[in-house]
Structure 1
Amino acid sequence: MQKLNLPPYDVNLRKMDGKIHIFDPIRKKFLVLTPEEWVRQHFIQFLIQYKNYPAGLIKSESGLKYHERKKRTDLTVFNRKMEPLLLIECKAPEVKITNNTFSQIANYYSQFKAKYMIITNGLEHYCFGPDAKEFVFEKDIPDFSDL
């Protein structure tokens, strides 16, 4: 898999049914390793190991309804009151982050009302909060203790 712009970690890989799987500590199971899953698992570890987010407050692939269609966020991070803090959209490294990507996560925000939204393809990371008329970008992804 491609080297990412995220700190490395001890990846737990296993070959099953002829495919490589990666362990997801949030769902506590092995998942088929895809480029997007590679990014998601690295970002989970980044949040836990470097930004001090408790693993128990991270949910992977949270479901929601948007215009009567079922959608899901890649990652949702909650505060200790179980209110959404971060909505995170992960893309494969080869996927370019465009205005459509920002629109996608903004639609999710309308359901979750998190404090921040993050978009990452493992190479580029954008953290922003909603404002009345525009996205307000942060210089860095906030540490859990800062929220």
Structure 2
Amino acid sequence: MKLPELPYSSKLIELKDEKDKTYIKDIIRKKWLLLTPEEWVRQHFITYLLLDLSYPASSIAIEKKVEINGMPKRFDVLIYHKGSPAILVECKAPDVNLTIDVFHQACRYNTVLKAPIAVLTNGLQTITAHVIGDSIQFAKEVPKKEDW
């Protein structure tokens, strides 16, 4: 599988081939996962959160279950600050266009989680939004840990 180079560090990325399949090491959960385009983006973005934005691994939750309108769903990444949801990250494969429908998916998760910041990324493009009540203000970048 040929995946694009992403604008994030690959310093923490570990890959291995086993039985004609490629696996990527989940940096947070410390387990090997089948390499998919979405997982490629997720692990690179987590590396960005850890190395460039200084979020501690202990503040990051990956693929936890959340119930939306009675249906079980899983968010991609959630960063906690002082025990409360702070940044919800929805990762998509690099070939997925970040449309308003895709952004609304992340917002649906956030109706339950109530993180003040929602991030949508396909690794090549990233959209960051501050969620204030029913309004959304787009931002240029994801805030660093020290900006809280």
* Aligned alpha-carbon RMSD (Å): 1.2
Structure 1 outlier segments of 4+, above 3 Å: none
Q: Percent identity?
A: 37
Give structure 1 stretches of 5+ with no counterpart. Answer: none
Q: State whether structure 2 residue 61 is matched by structure 1 residue 56.
A: no
Q: Distance in 2 between matches of 1:133 and 1:88?
A: 19
Q: Distance in 1 between matches of 2:141 and 2:4?
A: 23
SS of the residue aligned with 1:52?
A: coil
Q: How many residues align?
A: 146
Q: What is the Cα deviation at residue 57 of structure 1?
A: 0.7
What is the identity, as a one-letter code, of the residue corresponding to 2:117?
Y
1:125 aligned residue:
126
Q: What is the Cα deviation at residue 102 of structure 1?
A: 1.2
2:45 aligned residue:
43
Any conservation in 2 of the 1:5–1:124 contact (CA below 8 Å)? no
Any conservation in 2 of the 1:6–1:123 contact (CA below 8 Å)? no
Greater CA deviation, 123-132 or 91-100?
123-132
Give structure 2 stretches of 5+ with no counterpart. Answer: none
2:95 aligned residue:
94
What is the TM-score with the length of structure 2 in the denominator?
Answer: 0.94
Q: What is the Cα deviation at residue 19 of structure 1?
A: 0.7
Cα deviation code 1:81-140 (max 9, x no counterpart): 321111000000000011111111111111001120000000000111113443201121
Q: What is the Cα deviation at residue 69 of structure 1?
A: 0.6
What is the TM-score with the length of structure 1 in the denominator?
Answer: 0.94
